[in-house]
Amino acid sequence: MSAAEKIRHIGKPSVVTEPAPEAVEIMEKTKKDMGKVALIVSILSVVLLVVFFFGLNQNLTSLNQQVSVIPGIQNQIATMETDLATLKDLPSQTRRMVVGTMLDEMAQKANFLGGQMEDEAQAAKLQEAMKLIQGVQADMQK
């Protein structure tokens, strides 16, 4: 063997042989079968794409509906904040009501005691105390 015969080129077969007829027949059937497989895979991928599209579309639609509700919720929150501010004033209003009721009670007791007193000076003092209590009530109602 000479040196030229020992050299082989990469990518080129040194000896070209024809495949057996059985091999050619199998390769032809395989090419046809692979075409069917490729068609089935492409159809399945299109079906999956459609399923994903409609699923995503439905999710976006529900998200859009939920986002459209947010302004209404913000209005409700604003209303609740104003109601809360009103409730913060409630203790002072309640205190005024309790004090006003106590002043009424004191005025009624002073009036009753004024009618029970035998001494006119003491009755006059109770009448003066009752006028002072009524003055405080009038100031509180303002």
Query: ∠ CA 112-114-118 to the nearest 5 degrees?
Result: 120
Count how many domains the chain has: 2
User: Between residues 1 and 22, which one has the greater pLDDT?
Assistant: 22
Mean per-residue pLDDT, 133-141? 85
| Domain end marker among 33, 68, 103 | 68
pLDDT at 11: 67
Is residue 42 situated within a structural domain?
Answer: yes
User: Between residues 109 and 15, which one has the greater pLDDT?
Assistant: 109
Mean pLDDT of the chain: 83
pTM over 0.85: no
Percent of the chain with pLDDT strictly greater than 70: 90
Encode burial over 116-131: b for 16+ CB neighbours within 10 A, e otherwise.
Answer: eeeeeeeeeebeebbe
8 A C-beta contact, residue 107 and residue 130: yes
Q: Which domain holds residue 142?
A: 89-142
Is residue 76 situated within a structural domain?
Answer: no
**Rounded distance, CA 131 to CA 110, Å?**
10
pLDDT tens readout for residues 43-96: 999 999 999 999 999 999 999 988 888 888 888 888 888 888 887 877 877 888
Is residue 8 situated within a structural domain?
Answer: no
pLDDT at 14: 56
